[in-house]
Structure 1
Amino acid sequence: MYMKCLNEVPIHVDATVKPSDSSLPHQFNLTVKRVEKYSFLVEILRTDLDSGWENILLTVHWTALMKAGPTDCRKLYDIGYRKNDLYNIYLDGRTKLEVYCDLENHGGGWTVIQRNVDNRTDFDRNWSDYKTGFGNKLASFWIGLENIRALTKNGDNELRIDITTCNNTKIVAEYSYFMVGPESDRYRLNITGYQHQQEKICDFGNPGNRWQCGWVGINQSLCEKRVSDAMIRSNGQVFSTKDMTENDCPNSRLAGWWYGSCGYTNLNGKYDPCKRGFPYAHWRNGSPEGLRHGLRFVEMKIRPR
């Protein structure tokens, strides 16, 4: 008999056995007799009793498929978790990843993939950092392109972006379809199904509400353009960083992103609320006095549809 203790719960075990001296004639029957919590038991029966030897050292080779854990925050929500916090999920059911789950808001089950809420995390980083992820998941962070790929490759995820502008206006951009491609295609973005929510959008019935459009003399048409999809130029684009790019966008924006003609948004930009300019975290419709004013809060989160 052979017993092995494990630190996780196996759901299936395969095992083989070999003698230390393979020159000796040998025949064994091996059977996995029992798979228990944190262990398994293997029975080894010798079937060559007349081969001329009595003692031999054996090596057992085994592989265990461990119990599949939750693959995203939606799975945690579905089994009863309701508190926003850090949790372990298992990409493809096996690879452990610590994530921040929003289980309390907007129907719960959201896996947060990005947050830009303070200046303690520098988003002006190279390809390797953006691939693997960086930052503090309880504050500002990027979960990593490879992890986003693993979470979205099934093509069945929605994206929600929560934004607070310089003057504390709340903006929500929702997309019914969000997926990134493999690294071989530089994590190309596929994002569609835009819906938008914002306080006091272009309310020309009240002059006091025109501030979110920028200028006093702005007309209705230009105002509506300001609240249109800021990710529209990012759709279909590959991801770019300062050391992996065909243009100057990551250098002028001081961040990595899916830049198309540098785009209308820079959610990984420098955190400095109300500062105006290309390097700052901005959303095209999120400024009280014009475009590209630094945002106070940005959070991106995904959930299976």
Structure 2
Amino acid sequence: MKSKSQLGRFLRTRRAQLQPSDVGLPEFDERRRVPGLRRDELARLAGVSESYYTRLEQGLSRGASTEVLDALARALRLDETEHRHLHDLADVGRRGGNDRTRKPPAPEGITETTRQLIDAFGDTPVIVLGRRSDVLAWNRTGHALFAGHLDPKSPQDPAQRPNTARLVFRDAHTRELYEDWPKKARDAVGRLRLAVGRYPDDPLLAALIGELVMHSPEFTDLWSAHRVRAWDTAAYRMRHPLVGPMDVTQQAMPVPNEQGQRLVAVTAMAGSASQTALTLLAQITTPDGHTRPATDNPSTLSECL
């Protein structure tokens, strides 16, 4: 994945999604040859020459300054996450480095400190994700909530680690888990887009994207839109096969001193049926990640809800 080509594609898709009226330009009854803004219109808004912007979009200029990128971000009406992504995509060109001299990112894993952090969350469902959205670790309720059908020990083996983006697009259980699956799919793709900007030399990331493009037309359509999504807070309605529907908040936070790793904790509103469902899920999940027989459960689902 070449950053300069990714930069050009990002600029083109963003330009195509803006109409002259969106940025205060007059519209005439002329037939426009391209959707959205023309190159000359965007260049004028950003205060750069059309020829320079054209070279940038075509990947022929590798020295875009911070000031130029900021001006383009303003002209394109980028939000904060998109603005940072633009800088990430242009960063390789500004460094002027040779693609062949940059080392791929190091293998990922969790430290004992991170394991202690996971344990501190108790029964709150928690997973730790790496830069490619691989599951590096989870607690028993995190496993039960997101992927109880998978081996609870799978994150310990790099070759077998679940990947949340792959699960969203290629796993029937995960597709059924989210009531608004298209929203979850957009979020998953947007976060992979961020990863491409930050880790353009990661061959496993490139392989993952190639796999998803090959096997999922839905992924391909979303990928071509070049949308990005921040790792922050997201609300979803989940339909769990054991405890039923629940409205939850998934909060992502960076793992200290671990580049690209994020801990995702799942909570529900205090006193709600959704919180009761999460509590029940913790009660019926054994330490080895399996479900207790119904006769061993402290209460039935109907009694808890």
For Structure 1 versus Structure 2, the TM-score category normalised by the shorter chain is: under 0.3
More strand by share: 1
More helix by share: 2
Give the TM-score of the pair, scaled to structure 2.
0.26
Give the structure with higher Rg (CA).
Answer: 1
Give the TM-score of the pair, scaled to structure 1.
0.26
